[in-house]
Structures are given as structure tokens and as C-alpha cells.
Structure 1
């Protein structure tokens, strides 16, 4: 039953007022390009950690991956491990400090600009900006879907209207306040998300009779796994799928590795390392970011899996059946059915915070990529003025694109679309980004070759080999008369496992065959500040 009370209206109104107040403060403090693009490079470690976590963990994690855990089981908790080890520790301690230092040295204000200046290539900056501008709307679109599905289920509002409302709210403070507004509001929203998820975990265990009872009940439901999932390798919700089975490959290669590795090359996250004033700030942020990510992802995956117990006890159905076959509706249905009305209101704000924090980061990154990296630095060779104006125009264009995608994308798409975008970023950017930070011998030619090979091999694999995308796209069928040009296990191997190693090999090989960067330029890049 949809929740519709004056209390909900008051809570949401107060929340939105506080969000816009944070955006207004940031707007007043945004005077220079560095303020708009990089929040003045003087952000507090706690603000950084909460902003990074809130931008990373969105409705795609809570709704999309929570729904995926309801179908695939607790094996998805390996992604939570990857998110903490790779997405927080390696990202902040190894990548973060070098990114911050190089960003300051080169006066870079965006992720593509950092790469472009390290390799002295406007093409790298422009092409990277184009990749972000073209493909990140897919990621923003599914975050919109996650938020809108919960609003639809909770309030009974038409889904299309819910998408539009969310997009307009986020646009209002991102376009005006820049990254400072994004990080202030993200930190607020991250705090709300942490509280909401902690309460959700506690209430779920109380509802199901305790921790041991809940997990034992889920283990005993193994006989209820649908035949179609059993045939794919599903062995129950508290065990890993059969090794090498289609579901195992989907779980490990697409979800765990695709997102777990892809996080290192996320432009909207990497740019945050350039917003603090010291390596010490980054190290301090780890102690806030780690527990935050654990709470966000761990709770989503555990509660998603345990929702099967609740729906079976109340309706005699497993979660995917209770949600009408749409895994993106499982978490909204569970919250609205199992939780007290007051918590539904609290969680409504939690999901609004999750959606808005991630979308604000995405829109700022896409706008910067289009306005600053592609238009100003690549097309206009750095001679165009009004960077902030063009960035705001870029944000507006990508908001429209993400809204359109939220209307037309199919059901059960959130987790898969997230993995697609993370995988493209890993293949296109990660070898080049890692080379920029850790290998002085990496050359401009090697970086360009890596960028092109990573981007196009990833897209090729998605279009012609990976069955979950190739079959619905139908391009392989139209050109070659077959759903996929390869068969067997290959059709369930995620592009990240093929395109990223290929991109790295090309980067190394071409760099070793070409003239190294000048010592003068390397000194400029790597002298620590």
C-alpha cells in the first residue's frame, strides 16, 4: 500500500530545504573555475569520504544490486569486499595521493584534463570527455530509475512523473553550485544514507526473528530456487553458484569484478581526490569511507537476499515472483510491505539522498567533460571563454539524455547497466590512468592506443559477444545471422575481463616502442606538492 501522509510531505520538504541550503552556501562560495570544478581544493576529509561514498553508492547499489542479491544470493557480498579493498583502500591510499599531487602540479580541474596534461594530448582529453558525455547518461539514467521506482511504489506517483521530479530537483543545485554544492549535499545525504541503512538491517533481522534464524531460513529455501536458475548454476541464496556456470560468470565477472575494478577509473570519483589539500587528508578519509561503504553495500546485499524469507513467509513466493519478475522492484516492494510506515518515510529520504548524491556527481562530471574537456580544450584548443557557462549547458544536455534513457530502458536493468558503464571506464581509462600515476615511461602514443583499444574492444564485446547485451541489441544477428559471434562460455564473460587486459597490453607495448616523455615534463608531473 502506498504511503501518503502529511508527515511524509513535511519530512521530504525539510530534507529538500536543507539540501538547497547546502547548495546555496556552495553557490555563494563558488567564485573561480577551481571552486566550480574542484570545490576550491580544500575539502575536509570527512566531507570527502562521505561525498565519495555517496557518489559511489546510489540507488543502483541499494535498489538495483539489492534486487540482484535477492535473485543471485549472498555471493554478491564479494562485491562489498572489492568495494572496500579496491574502491576505498587502493583508491585513496595508492591512486588518490598521486592523483591529488599530479592534479595540483598540472593545474588540472577534471579527470580527462589530468590525463590530457600528463600525456600532453588534447585528443586524450577531448576523447575521454566524449566517452564520459556519451556513456555516463546510461549510468545516470539507471540511478534515476532506482529512485523513481521507489517513489512510484511508495507514493503511488506515476513513474514517468517521478523521473522528471527527481531530475529537476538535482539539476537545480548542480547547475548553480558546481562541485562544492555537490560535495556539501553529498556529505549530508551520505550521513542520512548511513543511518537509514543501519535501521533497515536492524529491522530486517527483528522482522525475521533474529540473525541466526533469518540466515538459516534462507539456507533452507534452497529447494525453492526456480528451475531456470538451477539450470544456470544457482545453488541457493547462501552459497556461491556452481563454479564456471553462467550465473557464476555473471556474478563474478560482470558484477563483482566489473564494478569492483571499474570503480578505480570512475571520473566522478577520481576527481574528488583533487579536492583536498594533502595526502594526510586522503588517508584520514579512509577511516570514514571504509565503514560507510561496508554499511551501504553489505546491508543492501544481505537485506536483498533475506527478502526471499519475508516474501515466502507472508505470500508463499520468492522475491522475484513477489515483484512481478522485475528485480528492480524487489527492494521497494520489500520496504513498503515489511517495514513500519514511519521507516518507509525515513527510507524514502534515504533513497532520495542516494539518488540525488550520485546523480549530482554524474551531472557535474558529464557537464565538465562536455563543456570543459571536449568543447573548450579539444574543439576550441583552449581558446574559448565561459567554461562554467558551457559546463552548465553540458549538464543540462546530459540531464535530458538521462531522463530519456530512464523512460526507455527495460526492466531489471539497474545492476547490469551499472556494470556496463564501470566496465567501459575500466577498459578505456584504467591502464592509461594507472600508467600516468605509476609508470613514467608511459608515452602519449601508448596512452592514445590504450584509450582507443579499450573503448572500442569493450563496445565490440558488448555488441557482438556478451549475450546479455548482444542478443537484445540484435546487431550481430542482423550482420552475421547469429546472436553472438562466439559461443560457449565466452558469451557470459564480461567485457572487462577481455578489454581491460587488452588495453593494458597495448599501452605497455606501444609505450616501449615509442620515445619516452621528456625529463622536464616528467619533473613537472611528478614533483610532489
Structure 2
């Protein structure tokens, strides 16, 4: 389908003008570190909800996980339930209120600084900042891939050029405007994403003859599951994979649990809880956040799976075959083939919004982790008064790393790269973060041990046991002469199910064996407003 170049050009130009206007406003309103890092702690509940949702749901969800649904079916809808219950309700109401209050009490401006000050540990803050700086580019790279793949398919732009364009556009307003610019552009982009996904759902069902007809047709296609996928547990696009099969373990442990639980410990999301004026604002944000997540993630997964019906009806092939085996190309191919010309233009803006909102949050989180947490606290031991310029340099550096990863990562990597980062955050940060805001008896030694065990257990499992990553890295093969150290089911069990419980146990045992934090410090941390 040839998209009208004048219409597309005008639409993209208008959209960019609005985005850069918000970036300029952010720059004008950024007076100090609190403004740059936390948007002045005065963010509106609606802006919070849509900024949080837009930062959470990106092209990795729409393109990557939507493509995964096209390949493996609607079992991934369990992730939507996890996203709403864990990622919105538990995150905002239970974690968010305590995070906001403790962040205010300790005058923390980043996620690592919150944890570091809670346990009075520069090591925890610096190590956490380094971990974010090193591994978040993997997630950012996957988001870049998602946006660039759609630009490649729809606009005919060469993939590497599309990656670079996307990165430069986002970098421009994140580096100058800080979190004020990030959150207000995120909210704008979130509204655009919500409208785009709602239209996509309606048009898809209309194209396939109705809700019941579309789902029944997809159910009837179970016999078309390729033999190689059936052999690893694929039973059809409207049913769960065979229990205990490799596909079942990947879906349940890596996708549903890895992302569904890992969201609670995402630094770029947790820091948003510290941007609002009151706990009441967090509770109000739930009313907007829940429907937003359902419309964004739920629609992507449903449409991804139903794309099989459209491609079979029009081309006699399932989606995976149409995309040449690359699941990251399925959603772009479907939109470009099935949707009317005007909607292709609008959906391009929707995907640009999804990519830019998440990338801006990631770039800001990586830059602050490098400049404020790793460099200022970890390396310089707090001797630098202001870190905005170092943070901006950190943003620029991590953007370049993310772009390089987007160039070199293999096809079909978006969903897996996202799940890897979410799972690593769950193992490294979640036990320590949970203990920090809920358990007064947790000690600095317990938090440090939990952070180290969670990090290195997760990385060890990815390198030497989990088959997908271990085989790609080849380290186990080089050192021990075999692809993985363990065999059988263990090779498809995600690190989150091993590393996170280990980190929890270590946090509790070491804390109970060591001296509690001072009573005065604990009272300051947990002081109510």
C-alpha cells in the first residue's frame, strides 16, 4: 500500500512540532535538579497515569509482543491481567504511595538514590546505577527496533536510517527538557496511542466479520500450526500451549511472570511515583491507568493473534510465514496490508508515540543512573554538587549504545530482550525495593546481599542454563563443551523463577543476622505526612 506522502509529511510534521513544543516547555521549566529529575514533584494524576502507561507500553509490546501473539496465540492475554493487577493497581496503590512518601522524606530524585538512602549505602546506589546503565540499553534497543521496523515497512525507509532518525528525535527533547518534558510528551503520546489502538481493534473486527466470527475462525485454524511449533507445545492460537512444554515455559515464566512481575522494579516507572504531590494523586491515576493498559496491550495481543485469520483469508498463509519467520515484522505487515490508507498514517504516529514515550523514559533513567547514581555517588562519593550536565552526557552515551544494539540484535528479539531486562530487574531490585519500603527490619547488609545475589544469579542462569540465551552467547559451550550446564526442563525455566526467590531468601536471612538500622533513620524513612 502506498501511503500518501503529502498527508504523511504534514501529519508527522504537526506531531513533531507539538512534541518539541512540550520539550521546549520542559526546558523552560527546568530550574534545578528536582525539576530535571522529578518534574518538580507536582505532576497531575492524569499526566502521571498516561505517562506511566505510555512509558510502560511501547513498541516492544505492540510490535514485539503483538508479533509473539501472532506466532503463539492468545495465551499471552494473561500478561494483560498481570499488567493491570500488578503493574497498575499494586504498583500505584501499594508500592507507589510508600515510594512517594519515602522519596520525599529522604529527598531522593532517582530510584537507585531512594534505595541507597534508605539503606545509607553509596555502594547500593552506585551499583544499581551501573546495572541500569549497562543493561537498560538492551531494552531501549528493542524499542528502537520496533519503531524502526514499522517505519521501514510503511515508509520504505532503510532500517538503519530509521533507527538513527528515531533516536535523534527523542534525544533532542530528553537531553534538554528532563523529566518535565518526558512526562508531558508521554501523556500526549499516551492519548494518541489510546485512540490509535481503539480504532485498530474496531477496524480489525470489522475486517474479519465481527467479534464472534473472527475468534471462531482463529480457533478453527489450529490444524495450520506448523509441525516444528506443534512439536514444542503450540496447540492453536486460542488455547494455551501444552502444559510443561518448552513453549508453555517460555510463555508463563519468561513472558507472563518475567514482564508481569518485573514491572514493579522498573526504575523508569518507579521514579514516577515520586513526581506527584500526594498519595491521593496516585489513587486517582489508577482509574486512568487500568483502562489504558487494557486498551494498549490487550488490543495488540488480540490483533496480533487475529492477523492469522486475515493473512490466511487473503494469502493462504499464517502470519509467521508472511513475515518470513521474523515475528517483529508481523504487526507492521498486517497494518500495512489490512488497514485503510488514512489509518496507516495515523498508526505510524501511534507507533512513533509508543516508541518515543518509552525511549524518552529509558534515556532519562539511563542518564540519571549514570550521571547521578553511578558517577556522582559510586565514583565521586558525592563530591559533585550538580550532575545535570553529567546526566545529559550519560543520556547521549547510552543512546549511542542503544542504537548500536538495535543494529546488531538478531531478528525476532523484541519480546525476548524486553523480558530479559524485566526479569533482571525483578531479581536484582524487587526483593531489596520491597524490603526497603515495607520492612523496617531490613538492613543494609541484607539489601546489598540481595542485590548481588539477584543480579549474578540471574546473569548466571541466562549465560549457562537458559537455552535461548546460553546458546546465543556460546560461553558455556566454550568453557564446558556443552550448550547448557543443566538439561531438560531447566533449560526453558526463566531466571526470574530461580534468581528472585534466592534474592528474597538472602535478603531475609542476612537482615535477621545483622544489626538493624538506627531507630532515628528508620523513623525518618517511614515518617508519615
Which TM-score band applies after superposition, normalised by the shorter structure? Answer: over 0.9
Is 1:239 aligned to residue 215 of structure 2?
no
Per-residue Cα deviation, 1:432-475 (whole angstroms, up to 9, x for no partner): 00000110000000000000000000000000000010001110
Tell me if structure 2 keeps the 8 A contact 1:4–1:155.
no
- Is 1:420 aligned with 2:420? yes
Unaligned runs of 5+ in 1: none
Structure 2 unaligned segments of length 5 or more: list them: none
Preserved CA contact (<8 Å) 1:2 1:153: no
Give the Cα separation in 1 of the matches to 2:2 and 2:251.
33
The whole-number CA distance in structure 2 between the counterparts of 1:357 and 1:2 is: 27
Identify if the C-alpha distance between structure 1 residues 162 and 2 changes in structure 2 by more than 3 Å, giving closer, same or farther: farther
RMSD: 0.6
Show the counterpart of 2:456.
456
Residue 111 of structure 1 and its aligned partner are, at CA, apart by 0.1
What is the CA-CA distance between 1:381 and the residue it aligns to?
Answer: 1.0
State the alpha-carbon separation in 1 of the partners of residues 39 and 207 from structure 2. 43
Superposed CA offset, 1:188-225 (max 9, x none): 00000000000000000000000000000000000000
Q: Helix, strand or coil: the match of 2:241?
A: coil
Contact 1:54–1:358 (8 Å) recurs in 2: yes
Aligned to 2:441: 441
- Correspondence list, 1:303-318, <5 A: 303-318=303-318
Residue of structure 2 equivalent to 1:125: 125
SS of the residue 1:238 aligns to? coil
| Contact preservation (8 Å) 2:33, 2:386 | no
**For residues 2 and 380 of structure 2, what CA distance do their matches in structure 1 show?**
52
**Quick check: 2:119–2:443 contact (8 Å CA) kept in 1?**
yes
Contact persistence 1:367–1:395 (CA under 8 A): yes
Task: Quote the offset at 1:386 in angstroms.
Answer: 3.4
Residue 370 (1) aligns with residue 370 (2): yes
Superposition map of 1:253-268 within 5 A: 253-268=253-268
Q: Secondary structure at the match of 1:351?
A: helix
Give the match for residue 280 of structure 1.
Answer: 280
Aligned to 2:484: 484
Give me the TM-score of the superposition, normalised by structure 1.
1.00
Residue 328 of structure 1 aligns with which residue?
328
DSSP 3-state at the match of 1:381: coil
State TM-score, norm by structure 2.
Answer: 1.00
What is the Cα deviation at residue 4 of structure 1? 4.5
In 2: Cα distance, 1:240 partner to 1:408 partner? 32
1:45 corresponding residue in structure 2: 45
Q: Which residue of 2 aligns with 1:109?
A: 109
Question: In 1, are the aligned partners of 2:464 and 2:476 still within 8 Å (CA)?
Answer: yes
Shift of 1:417: 0.3
Structure 1 contact 79–256 (Cα < 8 Å) conserved: yes
TM-fit CA distance, 1:253:
0.3
Q: Is the 8 A contact 2:121 2:444 kept in 1?
A: yes
The 2-side partners of 1:385 and 1:441 are apart by 32
2:165 — aligned with what?
A: 165
Equivalent residue, structure 2, for 1:271:
271
Q: Give the alignment of 1:221-236 within 5 angstroms.
A: 221-236=221-236
Shift of 1:2: 4.6
CA distance in structure 1 between the partners assigned to 2:495 and 2:341 by the alignment: 42
Partners of 2:69 and 2:500 in 1: CA distance: 26
Correspondence 1:523 to 2:523 = yes
Query: Matched residues in 1 for 2:374 and 2:22: separation?
Result: 29
Pairwise CA distance, 1:5: 1.6
Q: Does 1:33 align with 2:15?
A: no
